[in-house]
């Protein structure tokens, strides 16, 4: 099992996209991981593909092999750097603790997927991969994009947080004075990269460019 970390975060990452709004976050994170030379194990639900086609100009092929080729060209990744698996590919590395990457991010994370992960459901490969990440005590980051949250959503978030999962809502800040939608997307993606320990230059850390009171 390869769970080695580079000086700047894990070498291999599972990236899953589910059917909440915010496909731009997942695509941008994928692009950043490729640029940082990470191996990405990519999972996407059918609902996420529909949302992506609605929210962006990206329309993914349905078959995993074609999707892998498309995303490799789209991001400029090296051959084999992005690996795409179907929803019932139970023989994929992410389905087992002996082969899964050291970290997993679900972005965007639908409240349905949040519920499934919190209750241990493994009805598809995304849910199984998250279950593996939990049982192996590896890093799991969930990025919900929903508003408002119901008590059910909050209870599931608390349960997962108590298990060590990071809940990172897609709630961009404004202290960096964003000028475009891309700036807002980058805020959230930069926070994900910071948690993974992967270098990023999209967002300065708080205080890095703050002027002192006598300047």
The answer to whether the CB of 39 falls within 8 A of the CB of 81 is yes
Mean predicted lDDT score pLDDT of the chain = 92
pTM: 0.91
Binding residues for FMN: 19-21, 45, 110-113, 122, 145
Residue 146: C-alpha distances to residues 19, 37, 105, 150, 204 (Å): 11, 31, 17, 10, 26
Over the stretch 161-212, which tens digit does the pLDDT of each residue have? 999 999 999 999 998 899 999 999 999 999 999 999 999 988 776 666 554 4
Residue 174: C-alpha distances to residues 14, 171, 177, 181, 212 (Å): 29, 10, 5, 12, 19
Over the stretch 83-96, which tens digit does the pLDDT of each residue have? 999 999 999 999 99
How far apart CA 208 and CA 196 sit, in angstroms, is 20
Task: Count Cβ atoms below 10 Å from residue 206 Cβ, excluding itself.
Answer: 10
For helices 23-35 and 64-75, give the axis angle rounded to 10 degrees.
Answer: 70
How far apart CA 49 and CA 54 sit, in angstroms, is 9
Please, how many CA atoms are within 13 Å of residue 187, restricted to the half-sphere of its CB?
16
Binding residues: 19-21, 45, 110-113, 122, 145, 175, 191
Binding residues for dimethylallyl phosphate: 175, 191
Q: What is the DSSP letter of 94?
A: G
Instruction: Give the pLDDT score at 202.
Output: 87
Instruction: Give the pLDDT score at 208.
Output: 64
Q: Is residue 7 very low, low, confident or very high in pLDDT (cuts 50, 70, 90)?
A: low
Residue 214: pLDDT above 80?
no
The answer to whether the CB of 39 falls within 8 A of the CB of 73 is no
Domain ranges of the chain: 15-196
Tokens coding 134 = 């939990």
- Residue 42, classed as helix, strand or coil, is strand
The CATH class, in words, for 15-196 is alpha beta
Task: Count Cβ atoms below 10 Å from residue 76 Cβ, excluding itself.
Answer: 10
**Residue the block writes with tokens 């929903």:** 146
């Amino acid at each position: 099992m390869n769970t080695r970390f580079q000086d700047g975060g894990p070498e291999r990452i599972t990236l899953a996209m589910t059917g909440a709004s915010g496909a731009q976050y997942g695509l941008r994170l994928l692009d950043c991981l490729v640029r940082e030379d990470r191996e990405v194990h990519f999972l996407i639900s059918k609902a996420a593909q529909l949302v992506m086609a609605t929210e962006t100009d990206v329309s993914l092929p349905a078959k995993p092999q074609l999707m892998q080729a498309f995303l490799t060209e789209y991001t400029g990744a090296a051959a084999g750097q992005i690996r795409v698996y179907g929803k019932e590919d139970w023989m994929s590395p992410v389905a087992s603790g002996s082969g899964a990457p050291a970290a997993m991010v679900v972005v965007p994370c639908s409240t349905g997927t949040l519920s499934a992960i919190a209750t241990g459901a493994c009805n598809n490969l995304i849910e199984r991969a998250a279950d593996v990440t939990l049982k192996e005590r590896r890093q799991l980051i969930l990025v919900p994009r929903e508003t408002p949250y119901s008590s059910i959503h909050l209870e599931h978030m608390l349960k997962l947080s108590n298990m060590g999962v990071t809940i990172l809502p897609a709630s961009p800040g404004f202290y960096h004075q964003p000028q475009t939608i891309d700036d807002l997307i980058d805020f959230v993606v930069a926070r994900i990269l910071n948690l993974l320990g992967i270098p990023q230059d999209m967002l300065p850390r708080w205080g890095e460019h703050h002027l002192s009171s006598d300047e």
